[in-house]
Amino acid sequence: MTDVLYLGTSPADPSVADALDRLKIGLMCQPGSNRPKPGWVWAADNGCFNARWEPGRWERWLNLPHPRAGCLFATVPDVVADHNATLHRWGVYAPLVAAARYPLAFVGQDGATTATVPWDELDCLFIGGSTEWKLSETAFGLAAEATRRGKWVHVGRVNSGSRFAAWAPHADSADGTFLAFGPSTNMTRLHGWIDTTDATPALLLTAGNHHA
């Protein structure tokens, strides 16, 4: 296995905050949820899977004075399980993320191929898509191509030890809602996942290089 950093939720819980302070995990943030603090490693999601998503609210949130030095990437708005629609949104919203001075994450969705991903424009490939697609050879192949090109690889909706282990050899980071359901108890379980892959030291070095 290779190193993979888990980006969790529920930073108000003392056990989660302690793990964030010690850089054992990172924080996944989005409008209205999980405010990052200086010194934490974090990423900016867009929240557009919500039917009530408002582009203006997202853009205003993105331009707040967040601690950018700790941010791995900001996710450009996408469309779940629809690569072509995601490409359209990329053309509209990627310039706004770039103007806000964040590394750009493109979300790989069902239908994406190595020939149709905007490799030259993205800093991070975020593996999204349906559950079936996320565990497909296509998704793992895209991750391998991203790594070959020196891009960050992130995978979303990782809420079990088995999925964490499946992606550990292929991704730099992963996120999920696992900690939202009993954060203190599940933080202990998550520590087991992390200790198995011995994630943090090499990952933080890589993250620092990403922002050099």
pLDDT tens digits, 30-72: 999 999 999 999 999 999 988 889 999 999 999 999 999 999 9
- DSSP 8-state assignment for residue 76: P
Q: At 198, phi and psi to the nearest 5?
A: 50, 55
Task: Answer whether 0.85 is exceeded by the pTM.
Answer: yes
d(CA 88, CA 109): 13
Judge whether residue 158 has pLDDT over 50.
yes
The band of 198, judged by pLDDT with boundaries at 50, 70 and 90, is low
Average pLDDT over residues 184-211: 63
Judge whether residue 199 has pLDDT over 80.
no
pLDDT the model gives residue 3? 81
Give the CATH number of domain 5-210; options: 3.40.50.2300, 3.30.565.10, 3.20.20.60, 3.40.50.970. Answer: 3.20.20.60
70: helix, strand or coil: helix
What percent of the chain shows pLDDT beyond 90? 85
- The angle subtended at Cα 151 by Cα 149 and Cα 153, nearest 5°, is 125
Average pLDDT over residues 159-182: 94
Judge whether residue 2 has pLDDT over 90.
no
pLDDT the model gives residue 50? 84
> Taking the CB of residue 3, how many other CB atoms lie within 10 A of it?
20
Judge whether residue 206 has pLDDT over 70.
no
Average pLDDT over residues 143-148: 98
Residues 6-19 have pLDDT tens digits of 999 999 999 999 99
**Which one is predicted more confidently, 166 or 2?**
166
For tokens 């850089």, name the residue. Answer: 23
